[in-house]
Structure 1
Amino acid sequence: MAAADPPFTGPDLCGLTACAVVDLLQRREVNPLDLIEASLSRIAATSPAINAMVTLCPDRARACAGAVDPASLLAGLPVGIKDLTPVAGVRTTFGTPALADNVPQISDPAVLRLESRGGVVIGKTNTPEMGAGANTFNPVFGATRNPWNTTMNAGGSSGGAAAGVAAGEVWLSMGSDVGGSLRTPASFCGIVGLRPSPGVIASPASDGFNPFPVEGPMARTVEDCALMLDAMAGWDAASPLSFPAPERRYLDTCRADAGTIRIAYAPDLGGLAPVTPEIAALLSDALTRLQAPDVTVFEAAPDTTGTDTAFRTLRGLGMWTGFRATPAAVSDRYKPTLRQNIAEGGALTVDDIAEARLTRARLYERMRRFFETCDVLAGPVTGIGPLPVEIEYPPEVAGHACRDYIDWLRFAFLATLCGLPALSLPVGRDARGLPVGLQLIGPPRGEARLLQIARRLEQATGFTPTPIDPVVTH
């Protein structure tokens, strides 16, 4: 561990990787109840500082642990579930006041799959209201803070998941992603987050045919991320876009020799978004250090023309589809930025939507051809690092004004729009000591190879997978 890393003083079990703990569980050297108590102890110790795990279900977790097969994939490992994802019998608020006491009776398919494969839900992680925003705060639970510096935000919308994993509250946590909601907090908190291709994980949501919202794994190592993906992946009749998991486990492919790796590096993704000189220099330096006889890095960018407009249009359509029939008793209490986004979706014309769909098809074809020249496309997750927790979104990035709360997230739009897997890999720290992630985008349905490459690069970064004690700063 580098000298500048914050210490970790939590339970020894919480400091281990998920893969290591599952190995202990499967060999029956520890039992799920040991892990539940370790997790609860760590959550109690860190919650006052970071406010990541906002609803606990210890009795449910203990009851579920008694029925777990120790030979199952996760073998009784406690996991966190984002507060946008229903868990039967557990308070699920979506971060909005009108649903503060909502207790669903049916779990999301991804939760059911995790539990069927040995995962034990320990609680719900914080999210911005209805998942809208890249700073995790809401009127029900307040703000989640970055464990590396508690005056800073943890990103969003999976900020509670990322902060909790980084602080060792849980080993794995479920996130979700449309505009970087999984990737941004992973970068800000120094963990690994994967947005998989649509259909890898069954996610019906309110419109099961919308490919934008996906659920995905968050972990402290690439191997742990692959393990959780194995536990989440697969076909479910409730999810029309879902398809069967691969015959070879993601974790097995991840651990295999990656062979020769070709990385195309695009510092601004073909002019898609601004990036500060510090972030650009840090990522460039990291990629220089990652060069090796088996790793070639070259600068190249696809033509990303039209990405921003097409993403905004199709995201707006999805928001209007999902929210237009929401009862006024709920929607009237939404924050202004969320109400504005929904209204913009309702104002779209059929020509707006048609043009966005055609642009998406053109971009997909460009990306498909681009990946004939490389294995992954590397670039920023965001153009800046974490902001003070009180700031909803940055007013500008590198001198470019932000017109709204999603404008600074444009680096996330390309993978979502084209249905490509994208991973945030911690590669360094900024001048403030806060983590910075590198976004790695893979070809269509290329999760296995993407994880394999990310693991090879992770081995060269020296970034520690050990959780940290929150750095409480005033």
Structure 2
Amino acid sequence: MTDLLEKSATELVALLASGALSSRELTQAHLDRIEEVDGAINAVATVDAEGALGRAAEADRRFAASGPAGPLHGLPMTHKDTHRVAGMRSTSGSPVFADHVPERDDLLIARLRAAGVVATGKNNVPEFGAGSHTFNPVFGTTTNPYATTLSAGGSSGGVAAAVAARIQPLGEGSDMGGSLRIPASFCNVFGFRPSLGVVPMPAERNAWAWLGRTGPMARTVRDLELFLRSVAGPAEELQLQAPLEASAFGGPAPDDLRGVRVAISRDFGLGIPVEPDMLEALDRAAAVLESLGATVEEACIDLAEADRVFGNTRALDFASGLGSLVDTVPELIKPEVIWNVRKGWALDAREIIETTAAATRLQERVRAFFSGHDLLLTPGAQVVPFDAALRYPERVAGVESETYLDWMRSACVLSATGLPTLAMPAGFNGAGLPTGVQLTAFHYRDAQLLRWARVYEAATGYAQRAPEVSDHGRIVETAPALAGPHHHADVE
């Protein structure tokens, strides 16, 4: 592996902007790395090598004529396959769209392109991004660079695996129920779910949608900030604009965390089951924060209504976005998606109104909690990376999962709050598997959250431990869904 690929995006764009490195040279190294390791992890679903090298050459020509085109000038990047890239196959992991080539970019991709990114391909995702384990019938299963028989998480699992495997230093993902945070925890990288609208994510059928977010993944917090300086900011497509400009991100981090009030919760106040290795990781992270001067005490937001808010809002979003497909070609849609869509169709007006009221009460509890705390520290996932042949873990810490979302509750209940949340590496368990934690701040304190996280990162350096990618014994086939309500063939 070339030393270039160990560098951060911040370091690489500085080299590109100085003329010490060409985009074509970097893009070729990126493509060579895909060739070298992707057979073991299946992170990159589509590669456009010829087009990428052409785009890199054009970036070099523009640089020679007028300097860097933007803050990410010349940086190669594969994109999440749920995001449309003009002229590049964009499948969402679904047989329905296996040959789909969109004519226009999604807004986020357009902003990355304008910032100077060289698009090189697409990252693998679960079908329609549903679930936090990356497998689909079009491209198969993405596995973990640190243990290639295990899951990389999802739905941004392909992005996380690519960043961890040193294919690229920076990537974009999306997160409704943990799709940035769980794969970050599984793959020893940072994944950031920002506040609403910070990275604009227009929804075609619901201009008021709030649950899903887009955000970055990287091996350094500074790279997350670089991404946000490149793409954050108002968008005319949004009904509500975020009160944060791109320029808010970055700046000096404090020397320590003295005066920062951190609450820690092992089970989110709900008895959510978490495996012992993940609780040990939580304790490690808490000890680091305390050593840096933070005050750490056990406390949590009152999340008693978070499951209801998340479950019903997600179901409505699925019904809105995918309902017509489920009605038209259900035989081509995986059962977990059908279950979510039918749950959305089944919600009556009373339940929708009550869900809105519950979400309002939840925000009152969020405000009360953050009047006495600056941060909430929680497990990054309920489990360590699991067997990639499974559809999802059916038991967590001895507790049986009733739905495919139950093992993701550690992320889902925080999604229901809408708060900015950063997944951070938290070291490795005894078997050498990555672990992670979540750090949550109040609405639109995203920039401060990342500056505090830089202090933690400097004290740990966990993400700098690279995997030794091997395809020995790699699992590529995930089990088919079984009939019955436990596997969501029908609405429960």
**TM-score between the two structures when normalised by the length of structure 2:** 0.90
Q: 1:198 to 1:435 in 2, by over 3 A?
A: same
Q: 1:335 to 1:71 in 2, by over 3 A?
A: closer
Inter-partner Cα distance in structure 2 for 1:272 and 1:235: 39
Aligned residue in 2 for 1:446: 445
Quote the RMSD (CA, aligned, Å): 1.8
Consecutive unaligned residues in structure 1, runs of 5 or more: 1-9
SS in 2 for 1:332: helix
Q: Name the amino acid aligned to 1:418.
A: T
1:111-130 to structure 2, matched below 5 A, reads 111-130=109-128
CA shift, 1:393, in A, is: 1.0
C-alpha contact (below 8 Å) 1:253/1:448 kept by paired residues:
no
Inter-partner Cα distance in structure 1 for 2:399 and 2:463: 34
Aligned residue in 1 for 2:55: 64
Q: 1:41 to 1:330 in 2, by over 3 A?
A: farther
Inter-partner Cα distance in structure 1 for 2:160 and 2:386: 16
C-alpha contact (below 8 Å) 2:258/2:292 kept by paired residues:
no
SS in 1 for 2:25: helix
Match of 1:25 among 16, 20, 25: 16
Q: 1:375 to 1:244 in 2, by over 3 A?
A: closer
Q: 1:240 to 1:64 in 2, by over 3 A?
A: farther
1:250-329 to structure 2, matched below 5 A, reads 250-252=249-251, 260-271=259-270, 273-292=272-291, 294-326=293-325
- Within the alignment, does 1:46 sit opposite 2:45 as a pair? no
1:426-441 to structure 2, matched below 5 A, reads 426-441=425-440
Q: Name the amino acid aligned to 1:470.
A: V
Instruction: Return 204-213 or 217-226, whichever deviates more.
Output: 204-213
Q: Name the amino acid aligned to 1:402.
A: S
Q: How many residues align?
A: 465
Q: Name the amino acid aligned to 2:173.
A: G
Match of 1:191 among 189, 201, 225: 189
Instruction: Return 383-392 or 250-259, whichever deviates more.
Output: 250-259
C-alpha contact (below 8 Å) 2:265/2:300 kept by paired residues:
yes
Inter-partner Cα distance in structure 1 for 2:256 and 2:286: 20
Q: Name the amino acid aligned to 2:456.
A: L
Inter-partner Cα distance in structure 2 for 1:74 and 1:254: 22
Inter-partner Cα distance in structure 2 for 1:453 and 1:165: 22
CA shift, 1:451, in A, is: 0.5
Inter-partner Cα distance in structure 1 for 2:132 and 2:151: 9
1:319-468 to structure 2, matched below 5 A, reads 319-326=318-325, 330-465=329-464, 467-468=466-467
- Within the alignment, does 1:240 sit opposite 2:231 as a pair? no
SS in 2 for 1:188: helix
Inter-partner Cα distance in structure 2 for 1:47 and 1:255: 38
Q: Name the amino acid aligned to 1:395.
A: E
Inter-partner Cα distance in structure 1 for 2:337 and 2:192: 25
Q: Name the amino acid aligned to 2:179.
A: S
Which deviations, in whole Å up to 9, do the C-alpha atoms of 1:262-307 show, x marking residues without a partner?
2111111112521122321231133113312532222111211111
Aligned residue in 2 for 1:4: none
C-alpha contact (below 8 Å) 1:80/1:172 kept by paired residues:
no
CA shift, 1:259, in A, is: 5.7
Aligned residue in 2 for 1:11: 2
Q: 1:362 to 1:272 in 2, by over 3 A?
A: farther
Q: Name the amino acid aligned to 2:124.
A: N
- Within the alignment, does 1:174 sit opposite 2:179 as a pair? no
Which deviations, in whole Å up to 9, do the C-alpha atoms of 1:81-136 show, x marking residues without a partner?
10000000000001011210000001000111111112221211000000011110
Inter-partner Cα distance in structure 2 for 1:358 and 1:456: 38
- Within the alignment, does 1:55 sit opposite 2:53 as a pair? no
Inter-partner Cα distance in structure 1 for 2:329 and 2:123: 21
Inter-partner Cα distance in structure 2 for 1:363 and 1:315: 16
Inter-partner Cα distance in structure 1 for 2:200 and 2:141: 29
Which deviations, in whole Å up to 9, do the C-alpha atoms of 1:210-250 show, x marking residues without a partner?
01111110001111111112222111212334446526341
SS in 2 for 1:440: strand
C-alpha contact (below 8 Å) 1:272/1:410 kept by paired residues:
no
SS in 2 for 1:218: strand
C-alpha contact (below 8 Å) 1:226/1:254 kept by paired residues:
no
Inter-partner Cα distance in structure 2 for 1:436 and 1:12: 26
SS in 2 for 1:325: helix
Q: Name the amino acid aligned to 2:82.
A: L
C-alpha contact (below 8 Å) 1:172/1:217 kept by paired residues:
yes
Inter-partner Cα distance in structure 2 for 1:129 and 1:453: 35
Inter-partner Cα distance in structure 1 for 2:270 and 2:431: 27
Q: 1:242 to 1:144 in 2, by over 3 A?
A: farther
C-alpha contact (below 8 Å) 1:174/1:216 kept by paired residues:
yes
Q: 1:314 to 1:253 in 2, by over 3 A?
A: farther
CA shift, 1:256, in A, is: 8.1
CA shift, 1:23, in A, is: 1.1
C-alpha contact (below 8 Å) 1:196/1:214 kept by paired residues:
yes
Inter-partner Cα distance in structure 2 for 1:255 and 1:125: 35
1:87-236 to structure 2, matched below 5 A, reads 87-206=85-204, 207-236=206-235
SS in 1 for 2:274: coil
Q: Name the amino acid aligned to 2:343.
A: E
Which deviations, in whole Å up to 9, do the C-alpha atoms of 1:307-349 show, x marking residues without a partner?
1122101110111111122275544301112111111111111
Q: 1:267 to 1:216 in 2, by over 3 A?
A: same
C-alpha contact (below 8 Å) 1:194/1:422 kept by paired residues:
yes
Q: 1:280 to 1:78 in 2, by over 3 A?
A: same
Inter-partner Cα distance in structure 2 for 1:16 and 1:352: 50
Inter-partner Cα distance in structure 2 for 1:175 and 1:202: 13
Instruction: Return 449-458 or 232-241, whichever deviates more.
Output: 232-241
Q: 1:180 to 1:418 in 2, by over 3 A?
A: same
Consecutive unaligned residues in structure 2, runs of 5 or more: 474-492
Which deviations, in whole Å up to 9, do the C-alpha atoms of 1:179-222 show, x marking residues without a partner?
00110000000000001112011111333320111111000111
CA shift, 1:375, in A, is: 1.5
C-alpha contact (below 8 Å) 1:201/1:242 kept by paired residues:
no
